Amino acid sequence: MRRFLEKEVSVTTPTSPDDRYAEPDQLRDQVRQLLRYRAVIALGIVLGLLGGLSLVLFGAGTYTATAEVRIRSTADPINAFGVTIDNQVTMGTERRIALSNTVVARAAKALGEPSRADALPADLRVASPPDSQVLRFEYTAGSAKRAARVTNAFAAAYLADREARIHAMVKRLTGGLEQQIAVLAKRKTPKGDGAAAAGLRDQTSALHKRISDIRTYDTTAGEVVRGAEPPDRPSGPGPAALIGFGLVGGLVLGTFLAWLCAALEPRARSIGDVRGALGAPVLGLLPPSDPDGELVQVGRVGGSLAEAYRALAFRLRHDENLTAKGTLLVVAPKQDRAAEAAAVNLAAAFAEAGEDVLLVDATADSPGLSARLQTVADGPDAGAGTAGPEGRVVVDAGTAGRFTLFPDRSAGTTTDEALAPSAVTRALPDTDSGRSAVVVTRPLLEHTDGLAVAQRVDGVLVVGGLDRTRRDDLKQVRDLISCSGGHIVGAVLDTGTRRSRLRRALDAVQARRPAELLRRFTASAAPAAGAGDRPAPPRQADGGPQKEKLAPSRQDASAQDDTLTASR
């Protein structure tokens, strides 16, 4: 009884939701991947439409006219009695004769186009239905009238050629009989031999009778059973059908090209691509953001982007499958400003949840995050815009509260030993005492010093962008962090900015234009400028010289100015 109940329970247990909805989700994911290549699909449809229109222009206007000719059994008009039809006429031979050069020349002459005699047979088809003495002529032309005219010309030319052959055969037969009569007329019979003379007259009379029978025989070669008439519609599909076929074929071609592009695309275009390449779940998608907007969204700006950061922070802290309860490393495979924004907003979201948060800026940027965040004057660790003990400052996140920022400047070195003691070793004791730490470091594939941080934190959050991050880069990040002993808790994907591609291209052109103008102005003004006329380098807000690198065009202009000054 127990086995029966267990069997019933196992049979009636429904399948899991993953099993029921896995295939529809995969299908929707594949459709979304194909729809990302709308331009390729549109290109395929346009090519198919052009193909259909070309068929309409070059193939849809062809007309085929048909004529049928019945052949008389006049292969031997004299000795054809008692001979079966199959032996009297060979349809295969007659079909070849209808396609011969003699018939084509007759048809071209009747059409008044003797110069086109070689091109006419290309569009002519001659067939014979089985068990019949009928030849079917079919000719295809660009117009209905010409198709009917050429078809009738070929049928008439064939009948004329056959009749000429019959007349030639009659002439040949009568000529032979006349020669026999001439021979008999020259033959002399002995006088008094009436029987011989009577026999000679009988032979001559029989030959004359045979000649008379041959000349009176009907030498008609055949008759036209059905004449060709101009067809009412084209022989092939109409223009509408060809255009429809072209559109369907173009859609199939565009879909195939889109699938091929999706298969060969090196970038991560979907969540499944990121999950398969990184070997970790995708924890959140960041909606499009304004590139000129404020860095801190949580507690200051609000909106969908701030809600996405709050949901990501809640999942990192309360998901049982994730082990990022203490120190969290935020890193991007390559240069991406979304990693800094994610670290700052996660720190603000953790502070909003009541945690004591320490944000470690190990990106080696100068001036770094401290110059782009609003600091406060009150607090044990910071003054108004100035660094407190150990360089820490307090950041005001608006309604979310405050968190501590540690701008780690030793991260500019390329050795792991210099990065680990400065950033992680100072953050870990704070996390042991109940403080949460979020570390943002330089791109992992461009600066491997982030591996020293990955092995000392509780989890690594990889920040990438859809349509920007390569799958191979994600695989390398996974391999590097796994080999260093770190743990990837997941990934967060940035969907881009609100600016369109055209706007971004125009912005890039406008960004290059001032540098080009500056280079030209410096090159033209360099001979007249002196060493004392060189402008002073720009200074930061705190009074120190700016350490940011010049653009390549400015470096070239400065080098040219130095050379001219030295020569003077």
Q: In what order do the strands lie in the sheet with 124-127?
A: 124-127, 134-141, 63-71, 222-226
What is the pLDDT at residue 385? 42
pTM for the full model?
0.54
Q: What does the longest C-alpha to C-alpha distance in the chain come to?
A: 169
Sign for the pseudo-dihedral over CA of 26, 28, 32, 34:
positive
- C-alpha angle 345-350-356 in degrees, rounded to nearest 5: 120
Q: What's the pLDDT score for residue 59?
A: 62
pLDDT band at 154; cut points 50, 70, 90: very high
* 415 vs 442, higher pLDDT: 442
Q: Which two tokens stand for residue 317?
A: 């802290």
For residue 431, the model assigns a pLDDT of: 52
Q: How many angstroms separate the Cα of 406 from the Cα of each of 114, 290, 367, 485?
A: 98, 26, 12, 25
Q: 390: phi > 0 → left, psi -120 to 50 → alpha, else beta; which? A: left
Tell me 532's DSSP state.
Answer: G
Predicted pLDDT at 497: 61
What are 289's two structure tokens? 């953001």
- How would DSSP label each residue in 100-152? SHHHHHHHHHHHT-GGGTTTGGGGEEEE--TTS-EEEEEEEESSHHHHHHHHH
CA distance 81 to 224: 24
pLDDT, tens digit, 9 for 90 and up, residues 6-37: 443 343 333 333 444 456 767 777 787 788 88
Which secondary-structure segment (H or E) carries 160? helix 144-186
Cβ atoms within 10 Å, residue 238: 12
Which of 149, 127, 156 has its CA nearest to residue 221?
Answer: 156
What is the token pair recorded at 160?
A: 């004329």
The predicted structure's pLDDT at residue 46? 93
DSSP 353-395: TT--EEEEEES--SS-GGGTS-B-S-SSS--SSS--GGG-EEE
- Exposed e or buried b per residue across 247-278, where buried means at least 16 C-beta atoms within 10 angstroms of its C-beta: bebbeebbbebbeebbeebeebbbbbbbbebb
Average pLDDT of the chain is: 75
Helix, strand, or coil here: 502? helix
Residue 47 confidence class, pLDDT cut points 50, 70, 90: very high
CB 34 within 8 A of CB 254: no
Which amino acid, 48?
A: G
The angle formed by the CA atoms of residues 104, 108 and 114, to the nearest 5 degrees, is 115
Q: What is the CA radius of gyration of the chain?
A: 49
The residues, ordered by sequence, that sit 6+ positions from 43 with a Cβ below 8 Å of its Cβ are 254, 257
What would the pLDDT profile of 254-291 be if each residue is shown by its tens digit?
Answer: 999 998 888 888 888 778 888 888 888 899 888 887 77
Angle 344-350-353 from CA coordinates, rounded to 5° = 145
Residue 474: both structure tokens together: 């994600």
Tens digit of each residue's pLDDT (9 = 90 or more) over 337-367: 888 889 999 999 999 988 888 888 888 766 6
516 three-class SS: helix
pLDDT band for position 143 (50/70/90)? confident
